[in-house]
Amino acid sequence: MTDPTIVFVCWGNICRSPMAEIVARAYAERDEVTGVAFASAGVSAEEEGNPIDPRAVAALQRAGYEATDHRARRIAADEAKDASLLIGMEQIHLDRMRQLVPGLDDLYLLNDFNPDADPGEEMADPWYGPDEAFDDTLKAIEAAMPEIIKRARELGE
């Protein structure tokens, strides 16, 4: 039997979702959360095979995270169906996953876990903004992470 999986999803899988995956792994390791896996994917194939955006890598490294050799990929129907928890960045990501696999539940926006965000608030795509937007994205991801790690611990028990 495989570990429960939390999958972070954004458009192209080159900035927000891989950043969330990297932060989640770091928090889980720090908090000794085991028995759960973390992954990230996009709802689009347009960036497939591309590395994480260098601005995202820079923001992660400035904050002390180790950026990986991540390659963008599109989420597959089986992966979405088998995920224990799917966390999108915008409503369109959740809608696309529901189109991919009708009847999916356990779909959330990342900011649903962020106590500083309003319920249902989407996370803006930093790709379209200045370099500092990636630092803001990272801060929002980190704000949501305690609650996500709490859920991960429950899933891994």
Is 30 among the residues known to form the active site?
no
Locate all alpha helices (DSSP H) within 15-76, ordered by sequence.
16-30, 54-62
Is 10 among the residues known to form the active site?
yes
User: Is the pTM value of this prediction over 0.95?
Assistant: yes
Burial of 90 (0-12, 13-18, 19+ CB in 10 A): buried
Q: For the chain, what are the domain ranges?
A: 5-156
The residue annotated as part of the active site, out of 31, 112, 125, 136, is 125
pLDDT in tens, 106-152: 899 999 999 999 989 999 999 999 999 999 999 999 999 999 999 99
The residue annotated as part of the active site, out of 15, 16, 53, 96, is 16
Nearest to 145 by CA among 117, 105, 107: 117
| Architecture of the structural domain at 5-156 | 3-Layer(aba) Sandwich (3.40)
Sign of CA dihedral 98, 101, 106, 112: negative
Is 15 among the residues known to form the active site?
no
The residue annotated as part of the active site, out of 10, 53, 55, 151, is 10
